A and B are shown apart, each in its own frame.
Chain A
C-alpha cells in the first residue's frame, strides 16, 4: 500500500492481558516512530527506530512496553499486563531518512486501545 498501515484499528483488552500492535511503514522508509495519544492531547513520543536499530526508547512509560523492528520494516509494539492507564491511541509514523534531517512524518491511522 501507499501509506503507513496499522492493525488492529481497535483493540479491547482486559486488564492484565498482553497486546501486540502492528505497524507496516511505507516501503523503504528508514525511520519509524511510535507515539501514544491520549484523548484531547498531542502525540507523546514512545520510541524510535532507524532501520532495525532502536535508537531511542526513552518515551516508553514502563518495562511493560516493548517494541521491535527486526528486519527494518514492520514493527510491533507490545504491552504486557495492560493497565487502564494504557488506554490511548497508538500512532505509528515513518519517514524516508533518519531523524534530524528535516523531513515530515507520515502517520498511520492508529490503534485505539481500550483496557477494561
Chain B
C-alpha cells in the first residue's frame, strides 16, 4: 500500500529564516504534487513535479523531486507570515498500479512568527 509521510508535522519558525519540509513515499512514482491549505479553506495547488530531478520555484518556495530516493522537498527561503498554512504533498499512481488514488501526506503545519 502506498504511504506518504511528511516531516516535520509542525513547524514554527521566525520570519526571515530558511527551512525544508520533507516528503517520503513508499512506491514507485514520478509524479509528486504540493498543495497549500489555509485554516478552514480548501487545498490550493502549488507545484507539480513530473520527473526525477524536477525543480520548481515560486516566490519564496522551491520544490524538488528525487524519484530514486522517493523523496520530495519543499524549501522555504526567508519566511514571511503569509506563508503560515498547512502544506501537503501528494503522489498519484502509475499506469500499471491498478489504482487511481492520489495519496496525500500527513501535512506539515507551518507557523511563521513575526
Contacts and interface: CB of A to CB of B under 8 A. Distances in A.
Interface of A: 33, 35, 40-45, 48, 50, 55-56, 58-59, 91, 93, 99-100, 102-110
Q: Is the interface of B mostly helix, strand, loop or mixed?
A: loop
29 contacts: A33-B102, A35-B104, A42-B4, A42-B88, A42-B105, A42-B107, A43-B104, A45-B102, A48-B100, A48-B101, A56-B99, A58-B99, A91-B42, A91-B43, A99-B102, A100-B93, A100-B94, A100-B95, A102-B48, A102-B50, A103-B48, A104-B45, A104-B48, A105-B33, A105-B90, A105-B102, A107-B42, A107-B44, A108-B42
A93 B48 CA distance: 16
A107 B41 CA distance: 10
Please classify how large the interface on chain B is, using the bins under 10, 10 to 19, 20 to 34, 35 or more: 20 to 34
Contacts of A105: 33, 43, 45, 90, 102
